[in-house]
Amino acid sequence: MIIRDAVRRLTELARYYPVVSVTGPRQSGKTTLCRSAFPERQYVSLEPLDVREFALSDPRGFLATFPDGAIIDEVQRAPDLFGYLQADVDENPAPGRFILTGSQQLALTASVTQSLAGRTGLLELYPPSWPELQRFPSAPSDLFEVLWTGSYPRIFDRQIPPHQWLADYVATYVQRDVRQLLNVGDLRAFTNFLQLCAGSTAGETHLSRLGADAGISHNTAKAWLSVLEASYLIFRLPGWHPTFRKQVVKSAKLHFVDTGVASYLLGIREPDQLRTHPLRGALFESWVASELMKQRAHFGMRRDLFHYRDVAGLEVDLIASDANTVTLVEAKSGATIASDFTQSVDRLAAGVRDRAHHLAIETRVIYGGTSRQTRGATQLVPWREVDQLLALDGDRGHE
C-alpha cells in the first residue's frame, strides 16, 4: 500500500461535508484510500447480495446500524439509499460521517445530484499517477514498460504479471460490468468496439466511423462510448476555441485512462513491441493526458484540459487552462529532440498572443528523453518529470 496524493483532499472534504463521495475506476484504490484515511470508521460493501438486499429492503434499518457513520463501498448498487441518507445527515450533519465510494460515474453522480446536493464533497480517484507509482518498490523505470503495464495498484501490490492482471480486468470488470450496464448481448461486437476505441486513443471521436467499423449504429456507438466514459475507462477532451471560433475543429479527443488497458486491447503483449508500434506516439500522448487529469483530480482542481486543431491543420495535443494562463503541450515519444518538436506550440502561441492579449501563454513539450532543455520560449520536459509539466502546487487545488 502506498500513500495517495488524494488523501489530503479527501480529509479536507470530510471536514466540510457530512458526506464525501469518492468515484473512479474499479480497482483504482478507492477502498484502500478511504479505509486508510479513516481507520476508525466502520466499513461495509454493497457488493455482497445479502448486504445489498438489507440496504435496499430496509434502508432506515441499514443506516441505523451506523449511528456514527461508515464507509459505504459501491454505493451505486443501492440507489434508493441516497434519499434516506439525505434525511439521516440532515438530522445529524456532523462532518465526515459517511464516505461513499462508487465506480459508475453516471449512477453515483445522478444520485448525489438529486439527493445529496450541498451535503457532499466530490473526489475522483484514478489509478496512481507517475509520482505515486514510483512509491511502489517494483515500479517500472522504462518508458515503454510504464505505458505497457499501466498503473493499476494491484499489479504492484500483489506482484501480478501485468498481462495476466489486465486480461482478468478486461474480462471481469470491462466485459462483464460494462456489458451489464449496456445490456449488450453480443460479446463479440462489444469486444470489437473496445478494440477499435483502443486503436483510436489520442484521436478525435468519430462516432459514425466507430459504429460502422464495429458493425453497430451511430446511436449505439454513442451510447456505448458514454458508458465507457462513465465507467472511467476512457475520457474525452473537448476542442479548445476561445479565440478562433470560426476556424477550429471542435471534435473531442478520446483517451484511455490507463495505457496498460489500451495496450492489452491492442494485442501488445510485451513492452518492447511499443518501440516500433504505430500507436506508440498515441499511447504516449494518452499517458500524458491521463497524468495531467490525475494530477488535477487528486488535488481537487477543475479539469480544464482541451486539445486544439484548426481547419488549416495546426494541431496541439493538450491545452491546460488556469485562470488567465494557458499552457500548450505537445507529447512526443521520441527520446531525441527533433527540430520540429516545438513547431506546433510555437505557432499556436503566436496566434493566440496576437488575438488574446489578456492571456498568458506558456509552451511545453513532454518527450521520451531524459534531459530538460529550453528552445526559444518553449520548455522541453523529460517524461519522468511529467508531474512538473504544469508546475502546479497542490495548494492551488484548494482555492
pLDDT at position 359 is 83
Sorted by where each begins, the domain ranges of the chain are 7-124, 130-232+258-278, 296-398
pLDDT at position 105 is 60
Type and span of the H or E element at 270: none
pLDDT, tens digit (0-9, with 9 covering 90-100), for 63-76: 999 999 999 998 88
Q: Say yes or no to pLDDT of 396 above 50.
A: no
pLDDT at position 109 is 57
Q: Bridge partners of 124? A: 23
Q: Mean per-residue pLDDT for 172-182?
A: 72
pLDDT at position 324 is 80
The pTM of this model reads 0.92
Q: Mean per-residue pLDDT for 161-190?
A: 81
Q: Say yes or no to pLDDT of 395 above 80.
A: no
Q: Mean per-residue pLDDT for 43-49?
A: 95
CATH number of 7-124: 3.40.50.300
Exposure string of 177-204, with b = 16+ CB inside 10 Å and e = fewer, is ebbebbebeeeeebbebbbbbbbbbbbb
pLDDT, tens digit (0-9, with 9 covering 90-100), for 122-157: 999 999 999 999 999 999 999 999 999 999 999 999
- Residues 224, 227: Cα–Cα separation, whole Å: 5
Average pLDDT over the chain reads 89
pLDDT at position 224 is 87
Q: What percent of the chain has pLDDT over 90?
A: 68
Rounded to 10 degrees, the C-alpha dihedral 345/350/351/352 comes to: 80
Q: What CATH architecture applies to the domain 296-398?
A: 3-Layer(aba) Sandwich (3.40)
pLDDT at position 103 is 79
Confidence of residue 394 (pLDDT cuts 50, 70, 90): very low
